Amino acid sequence: MKAEELAALIDHTLLKPNATETMVRRLCAEARQYGFAAVCVNPVYVKLAAEELKGSPVRVATVVGFPLGASFTEVKVRETALAVAAGAAEIDMVIDLGALKDGRLRRVEEDVAAVVREAAAGGATVKAILETALLTEEEKVTAARLAVAAGAAFVKTSTGFGPGGATVEDVRLLKQTVGDKAGVKASGGIRTAESALAMVAAGASRIGTSAGVAIMEGLARGC
């Protein structure tokens, strides 16, 4: 895969609690330089990122209900509205994991659908974060199907704050489940060009990583 092709799949991510404006500006400059698909920042930095990337094809993504997914749906919807108004084009939301575990599947789907509706009103798309390390294989499949039914554009493996990140096996399973109905975003623990390429080979159409620059440098070195 050519460097520019891989770069176009990367969400260059900075979600640390101690992230600063200086760090966000650097993230945006790197995204411009390498041609990444998007930057993914905490909600308070959406406006700054949008300003830094004005005139650039790099999109601004942010997180909602993050990292637990256990917020009121109304709060997730309000977070989404504020983020879109500030310039977010993509919303990475955490599903209601507890409801999924309980078998309250309508609750899971309605939670995602409410965020999808709010995002769509502002022209933004939604990625549903499943936190696969906490799910059984059956739950992963169920969660992915519910997210797609609710209108999510992507299913995403992980927050990066859970007990594990993306695996090739999970990416492959999610791709088999959603087919062409949605994209698959592999996120969590992807730090090398080799691992990024393995995720793409398994079916990932986006890569969420805080190591975007290192990945591109590794690709230039032949991994």
For the chain, the structural domain boundaries read 3-220
Q: What are phi and psi of 64, to 5 degrees?
A: -135, 140
Verify whether residue 156 is a known catalytic residue. yes
Question: What pLDDT sits at residue 223?
Answer: 60
Question: What pLDDT sits at residue 5?
Answer: 96
Structure tokens at 124: 């933004």
Cis omega (within 30 of 0) for bond into 57: no
Verify whether residue 170 is a known catalytic residue. no
Q: Which CATH superfamily is domain 3-220 in?
A: Aldolase class I (3.20.20.70)
Q: Which of 76, 140, 156, 175 is catalytic?
A: 156
Question: What pLDDT sits at residue 19?
Answer: 98
Distance CA 9, CA 167 (A): 17
Question: What pLDDT sits at residue 222?
Answer: 78
Verify whether residue 140 is a known catalytic residue. no
pLDDT at position 184 over 80: yes
> pLDDT for 159-183, tens place per residue?
999 999 999 999 999 999 999 999 9
